Amino acid sequence: MNLLEAEEGKEYIVKSIETEDEEMDAFLFSLGCFSGEAITVVSRKKGSCVVSIKDGRYNIDNQLAGAIFI
């Protein structure tokens, strides 16, 4: 399942990032979002969600969230 289907407040492990956009892939990697890393959906807003990766919180849009498989 992807991050759009995740429960708020539950920690998941990133299994893969499925995108053909190299910039998007590089951006997620710069946030620390890559296979094997823990990720938590903190909250959802219209068109985006707030995620916790390592010690940071980031607001990502639904397109990015849909590319992250957990």
Query: Which pTM was predicted?
Result: 0.87
End-to-end CA distance of the chain: 6
Residues 25 and 38 sit within 8 Å (Cβ to Cβ): no
What average pLDDT does the segment 6-35 reach?
Answer: 91
Residues 2 and 65 sit within 8 Å (Cβ to Cβ): yes
Q: What is the pLDDT of residues 21-56, one digit of tens each?
A: 899 889 889 988 889 999 999 999 888 999 999 889
